Structure 1
Amino acid sequence: MRVILPAGTTETALIEGISAAGAAPALMAHTPSADVEILEYGRPTQSPVTPVSPSGCPTPAAITRAVREVVGFDVSVVDAGLSEPTAAPTVDVGATPGRDIRDPVAVPDASSIYDRAREFGASLPDEALLIGETVPGGTTTALALLTALDEPADVSSSLPANPLEQKRVVVEDALDESGLEAGACVGDPLEAIRAVGDPVQPTVAGIAAGALEAGIEVTLAGGTQMVAVAAALRHAGLEAPLSIATTSFVADERDGGLQAACDRLDCDLVVTDPGFDARDHVAMNRYCAGEAKEGVAMGGALSLVPDGEMATVRDQFETIYARLGMGDGESVDGGLPDRSPADDAGDPDAPATEGGRGS
């Protein structure tokens, strides 16, 4: 099994109160770069921070990494508009960071990103793919994409209290600035992404389209952001079988809405409960309280865990939590441990740092 992880940024994430993908807005640009290093190496290497929410909830990358260490799977990272460098090798599809969706154009190169990503997806030798994402602010851009496509718009949040009304106001402003009305882009998803999306969306959609056309089985690993991508694929005329795999945290928050969306888009839905309520650990408690919920292919990775092995994944998550410098299950109070490659000097278990981005 191969996990494809497009990673990018959008200035939409800087809108106050929109995202919990970082302890402070100024640090969110580092979140995707650090996420891919955690998934690749087990901890940040070149990235100077470990992503946590303001209350100390660690990034879903730590959970996806825990699954990888227990189950094992290949990873390919795609630079879908990173604004900070990463030591993880990446595939280049020509994406640049997304603008604030309240600008007239959010992703000017949406069509070219999609085309390059589609070529990449079609070239893969795998029989099956899980495609995830890491992009702070992605549920707001998902709401904007769904609204522009005239799809029922109800998205999740990385915050315990979903600021949905705030997101809707942002989306209304974004559509106004782009000269669009709700539903104006039915049948034209790339125009919707260009106007009010983020660069991860055409990357995921393009990879999925190319892979499906090549006969590869595709599962979109995520929650409501992947519903938006699935909607884009259906509006592009792609009718191939498609699955979405997410966590119980997202499915429970949506109260049946996620299943209804998948039914409407003719997608199979796989929901996995990692059983975090079985442990009294600060990180798992934060997830059970409604933080983070999904991201970095977490739901898709958890769906790969064999019966009887989830307790081992929880054990490994605790190990990774400690490895990331967050202590042994004690609250970090929203702190963000700084890291640099020099921090690992003399540590025989530290991953090697690779310079630059791969291609």
Structure 2
Amino acid sequence: MRLLLPAGTTETALIDGISAAGATPELMVQTPSADVEILEYGEPTTAPVTPVSPTGCPTPAAVTRAVREVIDFDCVVIDAGLARSTGAPTVDLGVEAGEDVREFEAVPDAAAVFDRAHGFGSSLPDDEIVIGETVPGGTTTALGVLTALGEPASVSSSLPENPLERKRRVVDDALEASDLEAGDCAGDPLAAVRAVGDPVQTTATGIAAGALESGTRVTLAGGTQMVAVAALLRHADVDAPLSIATTSFVADEQGDRLERACDRLDCKLTVTDPGFDEGDHVAMERYCAGEAKEGVAMGGALSIVPDGEMGAVRDRLEVVCDRLGIDANGASPAVGDDPESEPRAEADREP
């Protein structure tokens, strides 16, 4: 099994109240770069930020890294519009960062990106791949795409209280800016991404489409952002078997809405509970309290943990957190006397 992680940015994340991926725009755009370094090396290397909330909840990259240290798996990072360079090795598909969805076009080159990603996906030698994502602002763009496609739309948040109405207002403004109404892009997925999506979506969709058409089994690792990718695939007439793997944190928040979405899109749903309620580290406590929930292929990574090994993953997460400077009581490099002066974890990752 190989994990593929498209990583990118979108100016949608800079809309006030949409994402808390950083206290400043400069910190926010660094988050995906830091995520992929944590996944590859276990800690940031060149990125000047460790994505940790003021309460001690680390980026889901820490969980995915913990799984990788326990069971090991291959990982490929795809530059899907990174606004800042990363020290991790990446596949460069020539993807630009996304624009604000309230502009006329959020991803002007969506079709070209899809084509390049499709070629990459179809060339993979694997029997099975897992596709994740890291992109601040991603649940808002997921809501935009689902709405443009005419799909029943509900998205998650890494905040305990999901600012869904604020996201819907942004999507309404985005559709108006693109002269669209809900459902106008049904059957035309690239038009939906071009108008109100982000570059990570079209990259993930293209890779998945190419891989599926070449006979590779594909699991989309994530929650409602990957529901949007699944919807894009189905609206592109890709009818091959498809799976979505997410965490119990997303499933608990979404209730039966997630199951209904997967049924509607003919996707097998796997939900994994990492048993964080059995731990006493602040990171696990914050996940159980409703922070973070998903992202950086966390649900997909947890879904491949063998029976009996989840306790080892929890133990390893503590080691990763210690490496990131997060102690068991919540002290972290992201919390200072003035919380607004330090980086904060994503509010819109599932993210």
Name the TM-score, length of structure 2 as normaliser: 0.94
Partner of 2:347: none
Instruction: Please report how far the alpha carbon of residue 53 of structure 1 lies from its aligned counterpart in structure 2 after TM superposition.
Output: 2.6
Structure 2 counterparts to residues 161-310 of structure 1, below 5 A: 161-310=161-310
Structure 2 counterparts to residues 36-115 of structure 1, below 5 A: 36-115=36-115
Partner of 1:119: 119
CA deviations on 1:36-77 (whole Å, 9 max, x unpaired) are 000011111011111123433110000000000001100000
Partner of 1:346: none
CA deviations on 1:208-259 (whole Å, 9 max, x unpaired) are 0000001000000000000000000000000000000000000000011101
What letter is aligned with 1:11? E
CA distance in 2, matches of 1:187, 1:44: 40
Partner of 1:343: none
The unaligned stretches of length 5 or more in structure 1 are: 337-359
Local SS of the residue matching 2:166: helix
- Give aligned pairs, total: 336
Matched, 1:147 2:151: no
Partner of 2:311: 311
Instruction: Please report how far the alpha carbon of residue 124 of structure 1 lies from its aligned counterpart in structure 2 after TM superposition.
Output: 0.5
CA distance in 2, matches of 1:66, 1:297: 12
Instruction: Please report how far the alpha carbon of residue 290 of structure 1 lies from its aligned counterpart in structure 2 after TM superposition.
Output: 0.6
Q: Is the 8 A contact 1:186 1:235 kept in 2?
A: yes
Q: Is the 8 A contact 1:220 1:226 kept in 2?
A: yes
What letter is aligned with 2:60? P
Q: Is the 8 A contact 1:140 1:171 kept in 2?
A: yes
CA distance in 1, matches of 2:54, 2:139: 18
CA deviations on 1:92-129 (whole Å, 9 max, x unpaired) are 11111101101111000100110000000000111000
Partner of 1:13: 13
CA deviations on 1:112-156 (whole Å, 9 max, x unpaired) are 110000000000111000000000010000000000000001000
Local SS of the residue matching 1:244: strand
Q: Is the 8 A contact 1:287 1:293 kept in 2?
A: yes
What letter is aligned with 2:289? A
Deviates more, 1:237-246 or 1:275-284: 275-284
Instruction: Please report how far the alpha carbon of residue 326 of structure 1 lies from its aligned counterpart in structure 2 after TM superposition.
Output: 1.8
Instruction: Please report how far the alpha carbon of residue 158 of structure 1 lies from its aligned counterpart in structure 2 after TM superposition.
Output: 1.3
CA distance in 1, matches of 2:71, 2:20: 28
Q: Is the 8 A contact 1:22 1:54 kept in 2?
A: no
CA distance in 2, matches of 1:264, 1:246: 17
CA distance in 2, matches of 1:158, 1:24: 18
What letter is aligned with 1:163? P
Q: Is the 8 A contact 1:10 1:100 kept in 2?
A: yes
Q: Is the 8 A contact 1:23 1:51 kept in 2?
A: no
CA distance in 2, matches of 1:54, 1:28: 15
Partner of 1:132: 132
Q: Is the 8 A contact 1:149 1:185 kept in 2?
A: yes
What letter is aligned with 1:47? A
Local SS of the residue matching 1:312: helix
Shift of the 105–54 alpha-carbon distance from structure 1 to 2, 3 Å rule, reads farther
Q: Is the 8 A contact 2:325 2:333 kept in 1?
A: no
CA distance in 1, matches of 2:328, 2:253: 29
Local SS of the residue matching 2:78: strand
Local SS of the residue matching 2:228: helix
Instruction: Please report how far the alpha carbon of residue 23 of structure 1 lies from its aligned counterpart in structure 2 after TM superposition.
Output: 5.0
Shift of the 24–293 alpha-carbon distance from structure 1 to 2, 3 Å rule, reads farther
What letter is aligned with 1:46? T
CA deviations on 1:243-280 (whole Å, 9 max, x unpaired) are 00000000000011101100000000000000001111
The unaligned stretches of length 5 or more in structure 2 are: 337-351
CA distance in 2, matches of 1:233, 1:131: 13
Shift of the 289–312 alpha-carbon distance from structure 1 to 2, 3 Å rule, reads same
Instruction: Please report how far the alpha carbon of residue 24 of structure 1 lies from its aligned counterpart in structure 2 after TM superposition.
Output: 4.7
CA RMSD of aligned residues (A): 1.2
Instruction: Please report how far the alpha carbon of residue 329 of structure 1 lies from its aligned counterpart in structure 2 after TM superposition.
Output: 3.8
CA distance in 2, matches of 1:211, 1:76: 14
Matched, 1:327 2:302: no
CA distance in 2, matches of 1:111, 1:55: 40
Local SS of the residue matching 1:4: strand
CA distance in 2, matches of 1:124, 1:329: 43
CA distance in 2, matches of 1:122, 1:329: 46
